[in-house]
Copies of this chain bind each other. A is one copy, B any other.
């Protein structure tokens, strides 16, 4: 049995809580959050506190709060020599206070309150200062995911950077396209099958092999037409930069 306390209850921790609380091998001893949270069924029996001094004894403390608050908050915890981990992709293990044994439990996924996700395929990136803690985190991860991997803070920083490209920036491309369609009174729904297939395609095909479009065909006529359509648009710069990069990248390979 692993006893867990959640410190903070944003998107990551609330999703982690929902899935970990279902496991026989796990007991969620308590949820701490700065602000009161009304726990709804079937979770109304999980103890809650908003008082740091009343945090209960546990095997693992999981911090899920904004990146820039992790360091100060971990310093403020009123206990010592416990295993305290955070769940952030972009913050190194060293940011945690060394009052406690430090670790990382980073589920590589985009979470929102609106969607319940199956954790089975979600990579859980773990890191710890000593072997025993690493094994404990692996055990915790394996109760919910088939893909628990040890990754150093240094590599995790790169992984997080790559995640920003495929998640934040990709979503912004969706946003741009929805605006282009809105101007023409066309529903964004038209693009959804394409968006889903673009993501599904690379399950079996490398992005390099999946790449298509006017830029890599060197289709100057279409590119010119697109630049004309974007004449007064703030998205013209992005179009130009992508086209230039694609030409350069695939031109080399021809």
Contacts and interface: CB of A to CB of B under 8 A. Distances in A.
Contacts of A207: 171-172, 174-175, 178, 188
Interface string A163-207: 111111111111111101101101010111111111111111111
Contacts of A217: 66
A23 to B, nearest CB: 20
A122 B166 contact: no
A79 interface: no
A248 B248 CA distance: 28
A45 to B, nearest CB: 30
A44 interface: no
A49 interface: no
B241 A167 contact: no
A34 interface: no
Which of A117, A175, A184, A237 is packed against the most chain B CB atoms within 10 Å?
A175
A135 interface: no
Quick one: copies of this chain in the complex?
Answer: 2
Nearest to A92: B225
Give the size category of A's interface with B. Answer: 35 or more
B158 A183 contact: yes
B184 A177 contact: no
A51 interface: no
Interface in A87-122: 90, 108-110, 112, 114-115, 117, 121-122
A157 B225 CA distance: 9
A200 B118 CA distance: 13
A234 interface: yes
A114 B155 CA distance: 33
Interface of A: 66-68, 90, 108-110, 112, 114-115, 117, 121-123, 147, 149, 151, 155, 157-159, 161-178, 180-181, 183-184, 186, 188, 190-208, 210-217, 219, 221-222, 225-226, 229-230, 234-235, 237-239, 241-242, 245-246, 248-249
